[in-house]
Amino acid sequence: RAGGVGGGLGAEDGRRGRGWGRDGLFAALCVLAGVEKLASMANTVAVERDWVVVMTDGDENWRRGERNSYTRSIGRSLGVMLAHICSVVNARLRRIDLLCKLLGPLAISLVAMASTLMTIWTVLGMNVVSVSIEYVCIARVYKSVPALRRTPSGHDDTPPGPHNHPSRSWLNALLPISSLPFYARHPVLLPSLALALLYLTVLSFSGQMVTFLLSVGYTPLHVGVARTASTAVELAATWASPRLVRRLGPVRGGIWSLSLQMTFLAAGSGWFLAGFSGTPAERATSATGLAVCVALSRLGLWGYDFCAQIIVQDDMFAEHAVLQEVEADYRGTFSAVEAAFQNLFELLSFVTTIIFSRPDQFRWPVIISVVAVYIAGGLYTLFVRRRRGHLFHAPPCLRPKPDGPVALP
């Protein structure tokens, strides 16, 4: 809704021209965009983090249908079967999300070739239509799944803790301050924090990296092709990730996905830094190498995002799973704090390009982004070491030999 109103404000601004009126309309647009971002995050936390859990664990007909087809062919336990259902739902949600992120900018870029004013009205129309469709779909799912309409518990989602002073109530209403201790001592803190750290990056085809690519000679067509290729890789990750989880499990799948991302980013950043101070042609070549490696690294990024989401959602099957991760009563609290950290690190990524704003300084945001990914890898490695006792299975030639004699068959 805010995006649609912002489109109308932009159209009105196009007629009024410059001056105080334009500044006021731009300020109103920023405020409305902030409200839209807040509502979008609340919707994401509710639907992708909580509703998926409830739907996959509470719909007996759906579960029974999946059990008949899945258990007969694989013969695994009920807990693993339910985890499989949840992974399928998560993958489909991510696939729809990425597909919309591809088609939306593509449609806008095509209209922008004709007229800026037409583009603004197109954005307005797309937002009005998308909000209507989204509301109808969410309402239909809410009505069709009885478990979503269950009466809330007698307590709120705020975990138990010391009573806050009344003077801090306004701060707690704006920030998840009271939920931080619960988040900090939770068993899945490390994978969640590692996922949030991945948002501290300029190595994605968003405004920061696109601006740099344009500065080294890329055309909007080249950027569009690169962005489309990157999104295609991300869509491929939504098909590959569930298979990776079924084969290795979410914990091992996460370490493999992060390793893949770190490998591509190390190669891309090395290539980029090697030619960064060269001739314009060398800079363009190094930027192309960075763009290719960034696109390929998205396979590992969304693979880890998928695995981390499964780890956090392990509690959905508390009756069947060995490990109970995020308790159902406080799942919203955990997800809200996680989303807050993700947005904080995303904000810091913009701070890096504010500090290093010139194209010839872009190497520093790149280095910071790569370091953040490796710190995330270190945090998740620590989690895997604590959880499994080891990181990788050693090959037979490197395994310790038994002390006693080996019985021959």
- Please give the distance of CA 186 from its chain centroid, rounded to a whole number: 20
Contact indicator for 285, 275 with CB cutoff of 8 Å? yes
In angstroms, what CA-CA distances link 22 with 29, 259, 327? 10, 47, 49
pLDDT at 138: 86
pLDDT-flagged residues of the chain (< 50): 2, 4-5, 7, 9, 11-12, 58-79, 155, 315-325, 408-409
d(CA 217, CA 21): 35
d(CA 356, CA 346): 16
Q: Is residue 399 part of a domain?
A: no
Q: Which domain holds residue 74?
A: 13-114+182-390
Q: Is residue 57 part of a domain?
A: yes
Q: Is residue 64 part of a domain?
A: yes
Nearest CA-CA partner of 41 in 189, 210, 169, 199: 199
d(CA 48, CA 289): 34
Q: Is residue 29 part of a domain?
A: yes
Within 13 A of 257's CA, how many CA atoms are on the CB side? 33
CATH classification of the domain holding 74: 1.20.1250.20
Contact indicator for 147, 54 with CB cutoff of 8 Å? yes
Nearest CA-CA partner of 141 in 54, 248, 235, 68: 54
d(CA 345, CA 197): 6
Nearest CA-CA partner of 309 in 342, 260, 277, 287: 342
DSSP state of 177: T
pLDDT at 395: 58
Alpha-helix runs per DSSP H in 150-206: 169-174, 180-184, 189-197
d(CA 313, CA 330): 12
DSSP state of 17: -
Number of H helices, E strands in the chain: 15, 0
Q: Is residue 151 part of a domain?
A: no
d(CA 266, CA 258): 12
Taking residue 405's Cβ as centre, other Cβ atoms within 10 Å add up to 6
pLDDT at 36: 84
DSSP state of 341: H
Q: Is residue 96 part of a domain?
A: yes
What is the tally of structural domains in the chain?
A: 1
pLDDT at 242: 83
Both tokens of 406, joined, read 């080996």
DSSP string, 64-84: HHHHHHHHHHH---HHHHHHH
- Report pLDDT digits (tens) over 234-267: 888 888 888 888 888 888 899 999 999 999 999 9
Task: Measure the N-to-C terminal CA separation of the chain; round to a whole number of Å.
Answer: 73
CB neighbour list of residue 341: distance below 8 Å, 6 or more residues apart = 192, 193, 196
217 φ/ψ sector (left φ>0, alpha ψ -120 to 50, else beta)? left
In angstroms, what CA-CA distances link 14 with 30, 121, 130? 17, 11, 24
- The pairs formed by 3-6 with CB atoms below 8 angstroms and a separation of 24 or more are 3/32, 3/33, 3/36, 3/123, 3/124, 3/127, 4/123, 4/124, 4/125, 4/127, 4/128, 4/131, 5/32, 6/32, 6/33, 6/123
Contact indicator for 121, 108 with CB cutoff of 8 Å? no
- Report pLDDT digits (tens) over 292-328: 999 999 999 989 998 888 887 764 444 344 444 455 5
Q: Is residue 333 part of a domain?
A: yes
Q: Is residue 140 part of a domain?
A: no
In angstroms, what CA-CA distances link 295 with 134, 240, 288, 390? 29, 16, 11, 30
Q: What is the pTM of this model?
A: 0.75
Place of tokens 């620590």: 382
pLDDT at 348: 95
pLDDT at 398: 57
